Structure 1
Amino acid sequence: MFLYNIGIKLYYFAIWLASFFNAKANLWIKGRKQQNFGHFNGSIWFHFASLGEFEQGRPILEAMRERHPDKKTVITFFSPSGYEIRKNTPLADAVYYLPLDTPKNALHFIDHIKPDVAIFTKYEYWYHYFNELNRQDIPLYIISGIFRPGQVFFKWYGGLHRKILTFVTYFFLQDQQSKQLLDNIGLTNVTISGDTRFDRVWANVQQPKPVLLVNEFKNGQKIFIAGSTWPEDEKLLATLPALYPGWKFIFAPHEISAEKINKLMELLPKGSAIRYSELEDNSKFEIQNSKEDLLKTHNSPLKTLIIDNIGMLSSLYAYGDIAYIGGGFGVGIHNTLEAAAFGLPVIFGPNYLKFNEARELIALKAGFSIGNETQLKGITDTLITDEAFYNVTSKKILQYVQEHTGATQMIMAHISPLTP
């Protein structure tokens, strides 16, 4: 416990130092200092690490609010990338940064929001918060949980972390391997319910949010969408527009600072790309005339649209035909399911092994991992030129998503009798 507490303080110190030159770290520190907690009398507490986990847990969040309309909903985030985008969400009565995991903070926060139940999505296991919930007999659920053999819980030195798991009332897991790992350490309060992300992306397909300017940009042509890209991805992808004159391209970078966007623009043929914000500026005239007027302001036909805002990507896939998911040349790929739910074949980099759906899509030959420019061009060319192959791939990936929905219903059926 001593080492855990020291580690938490050292982590805070490292973020504090980084905050002097890193904007995200500065938000992490400043946001926690400036918040004041409201007082609630029996709330439902959802915690999400970041924006991705919020979207993953959103089906349960919506279902709990519908089932318990008399209860206040409190949401906490660990990361600024989740908090800053969803701090005003109508799905919560209060949104906070999760305070640092100390005994004092855990007691203070829980005594303020007085949750009837706490629901954490996928991961984030904090000793003092879990211990305090357990001490106060407040049910704690993990939804869409997933475990891997290399995690500290299953190491000889992971005693404290295994103890954290004992504070959990019930685990709703994504796969059999996770269940087996928990079985091996004596935890049987487990159900394999699947991943709630499937329910979330399927709901998005049923009621897609229209983006009129993107529809105008598409203008009836095929679109290749590159989502959540990093510079390593973009260097490869920037070679594609010149190869396929009949296609258009959309880049939605993971980071949208002016510096990052400018570097991406420099990779593309001059005059062929436009920022979404620039498209908005040119949309003061009638939508039906926007393409014609925009083309007058560029030296060459517009082939590429660069999304320089956050929160639009999941809606863009409705206009796409092929998707590339970024992050595979870094720490790991981003969300493949948002594109898959619209039937788009997905391409991604080599770092995908931690993601069940990516491995399963590759096994189905509905997802494709590439490691270099040659492989990227090879699979892109096949998908674009072989219509029969494309149609089979699209059908398989759509069926895969449909078959994996239903986690929300299963989780709610378990939580209902367990929640006070």
Structure 2
Amino acid sequence: MKYFWKLVYNIFLFPVIYLLAVILALFNWKIRTGLIGRLRTYSELKKEFPQRNRDRLVYWFHVASHGEFEQVKPILAGLKEIEPDCYCIVSFFSPSGYNNVEDEHIDCKIYLPLDFPWNCRRVLRRTRPHKLIFAEYDVWPNLVWSAEKLKIHTTLFAARLQKKSAKGWPFLRSFYSQVYGTINSIYTVGERDHIAVKRILPRKSKSIIRVLGNPRYDRVKDLADQFTIDRTKSVLQRPKGIIAGSIWPEDEMVILEPLTDLVKNGKEAFLYWVPHEPKGKFIDKTVRQFQQLNLESVLMSECGLTPPNGEQVLIVDHVGILAELYWKGRIAYVGGGFSTGVHNVMEPAIARLPVIFGPKFHNSDAAEALIEAGGGFPTSNSVQFSQTLNELVTNDEKFLQASLAATSVIHDNIGSATRVVRGIIRD
């Protein structure tokens, strides 16, 4: 069966994917940048490895983008602490990851090589990694199959399979069974994921499967340690700031009117507004929008992170600021839940904020855990959002219960990074 799927993937599936990427690259700069980067990957590796690697202890990590790298970051630090002389390659699929990630523990940063079998074999022969490690979901078949052929150990950590994942569909399940069944070690986020992964593996699979959690919790805790002064304050001592983070147009349609009503009606509440693309035309559009709503707004670039002085809205026009910003408010709405899937809910949770988000949250194990604990609140429409928001603003008891539940979810899940590092070294 594996031979059949290799033929299908290499003769039909990946060539079609590549052709589509070439066509779309003419119109989309992100796809174009990524494609050019992938075409240069082998030459970049030849600079780092003039000869085939024979003596370096190399670990190759692959992540999809910037968000997934947050899971890898504590793993890299832990690995370097135990094996300081190891050489760490990190490959990215997305330009947003490649262009924005800088880390002292990365020895070589590259784009994911194109997933043609001959290309995968030559990059693996050149680098000869001790282990090839994938984060969460971005697993590429020929890279895995080539590693197996070259007897290179493969690991997938923070593995999750959503209930409605296409990987569980009858026809595709057979394909993914041959991919995941080739991976030597699979570390899942939770028990449900452990069961789901076992279901798609071949019956005779020799893959090691362990439940080791999500290292992103450790990363969020490390980031929170930077905000020592804010952490010592009671959450009730903070200004009544509502932080709307990573907002997409689909989120805006649901939350903007209730938030506007809340801010206009007093209650000492004000709004931090963070668009998903906090730059250029998106910021200009946001400024005009709040002007039309008769709300006074100010850009973060003009006043910093201090609470607005007379203004009702602070518009964030800078990237990478949310982790710190959450410590300035009381309640968070995290975007993406009405479009591609909810964004990072861990950062507001560790800042002791009750977290509200849209109905598409099953991509996030943390969102599911927050709901179960009482610190997260999914919403499907403006009416439901307004009710949840007003209850948290006006009911201190309800607010404090949700605040404690949210931060407890993070602290209860810390330690995964250490377990994953041990697994990588020992398995």
Look up the SS of the partner of 1:195 in the other structure: coil
* 1:28-81 C-alpha deviation (Å, 9 max, x unpaired): 223223452221533111110111110122211211122121111111001112
Q: Do structure 1's residue 380 and structure 2's residue 404 form an aligned pair?
A: no
Q: CA 1:225–1:152 in structure 2 vs 1: closer, same or farther (change >3 Å)?
A: closer
Does structure 2 conserve the Cα–Cα contact (< 8 Å) formed by 1:152 and 1:161? Answer: no
Q: Do structure 1's residue 33 and structure 2's residue 39 form an aligned pair?
A: yes
- Cross-structure match for 1:197: 216
Look up the SS of the partner of 2:194 in the other structure: helix
Q: CA 1:29–1:55 in structure 2 vs 1: closer, same or farther (change >3 Å)?
A: same
* 1:185-239 C-alpha deviation (Å, 9 max, x unpaired): 334611111111111112222223999xxxxxxx962221111110121234333
Q: Do structure 1's residue 222 and structure 2's residue 240 form an aligned pair?
A: yes
- Cross-structure match for 1:252: 274
Residue type of the alignment partner of 1:84:
N
Does structure 2 conserve the Cα–Cα contact (< 8 Å) formed by 1:233 and 1:327? Answer: yes
- Cross-structure match for 1:162: 177
Q: TM-score, normalised by structure 2?
A: 0.85
**Structure 1 stretch displaced more, 383-392 or 9-18:** 9-18
Q: CA 1:319–1:167 in structure 2 vs 1: closer, same or farther (change >3 Å)?
A: same
- Cross-structure match for 1:130: 144
Q: CA 1:276–1:17 in structure 2 vs 1: closer, same or farther (change >3 Å)?
A: farther
Shift of 1:18: 2.0
Residue type of the alignment partner of 2:401:
V
- Cross-structure match for 1:82: 97
1:246-395 mapped onto 2 (5 Å cutoff):
246-269=268-291, 272-279=296-303, 301-395=310-404
Residue 10 of structure 1, aligned match among 13, 16, 24: 16
**Structure 1 stretch displaced more, 259-268 or 26-35:** 26-35
**Structure 1 stretch displaced more, 253-262 or 169-178:** 253-262
**2: distance between equivalents of 1:42 and 1:416?**
12
Residue type of the alignment partner of 2:175:
L
Residue 111 of structure 1, aligned match among 117, 122, 125: 125
Does structure 2 conserve the Cα–Cα contact (< 8 Å) formed by 1:241 and 1:248? Answer: no
Does structure 2 conserve the Cα–Cα contact (< 8 Å) formed by 1:46 and 1:61? Answer: no
Does structure 2 conserve the Cα–Cα contact (< 8 Å) formed by 1:144 and 1:196? Answer: yes
Residue type of the alignment partner of 2:18:
Y
Shift of 1:152: 4.8
**Structure 1 stretch displaced more, 362-371 or 145-154:** 145-154
* 1:261-306 C-alpha deviation (Å, 9 max, x unpaired): 22222221357222233446xxxxxx9xx98xx96xxxxx322222
Residue 154 of structure 2, aligned match among 117, 140, 143: 140
Residue type of the alignment partner of 2:110:
Y
- Cross-structure match for 2:250: 232
Does structure 1 conserve the Cα–Cα contact (< 8 Å) formed by 2:39 and 2:113? Answer: no
Shift of 1:376: 1.6
Look up the SS of the partner of 1:108 in the other structure: helix
**2: distance between equivalents of 1:42 and 1:306?**
47
Residue type of the alignment partner of 2:297:
A
- Cross-structure match for 2:234: none
**1: distance between equivalents of 2:392 and 2:96?**
34
**2: distance between equivalents of 1:242 and 1:377?**
9
**2: distance between equivalents of 1:57 and 1:398?**
22
**Structure 1 stretch displaced more, 36-45 or 385-394:** 36-45
Q: CA 1:66–1:198 in structure 2 vs 1: closer, same or farther (change >3 Å)?
A: same
Shift of 1:335: 1.1
**2: distance between equivalents of 1:13 and 1:208?**
47
Q: CA 1:8–1:275 in structure 2 vs 1: closer, same or farther (change >3 Å)?
A: farther
Look up the SS of the partner of 2:262 in the other structure: coil
Does structure 2 conserve the Cα–Cα contact (< 8 Å) formed by 1:341 and 1:398? Answer: yes
Residue type of the alignment partner of 2:107:
D
Shift of 1:243: 2.1
**2: distance between equivalents of 1:230 and 1:100?**
31
**Structure 1 stretch displaced more, 271-280 or 115-124:** 271-280
**2: distance between equivalents of 1:69 and 1:400?**
32
Residue type of the alignment partner of 2:301:
S
Look up the SS of the partner of 1:268 in the other structure: helix
Shift of 1:330: 0.7
Shift of 1:149: 5.1
Gaps of 5+ in 1: 212-218, 281-286, 296-300
Q: TM-score, normalised by structure 1?
A: 0.87
**2: distance between equivalents of 1:116 and 1:330?**
39
How many percent identity over aligned positions? 28
Look up the SS of the partner of 2:139 in the other structure: coil
Shift of 1:403: 1.1
Residue type of the alignment partner of 1:251:
W
Residue 177 of structure 1, aligned match among 192, 207, 213: 192
Does structure 1 conserve the Cα–Cα contact (< 8 Å) formed by 2:238 and 2:328? Answer: no
Q: CA 1:210–1:121 in structure 2 vs 1: closer, same or farther (change >3 Å)?
A: farther
* 1:235-274 C-alpha deviation (Å, 9 max, x unpaired): 3433314523412322222223422222222221357222
Look up the SS of the partner of 1:115 in the other structure: coil
**2: distance between equivalents of 1:105 and 1:367?**
44
Shift of 1:383: 0.8
Look up the SS of the partner of 1:331 in the other structure: coil
- Cross-structure match for 1:68: 83
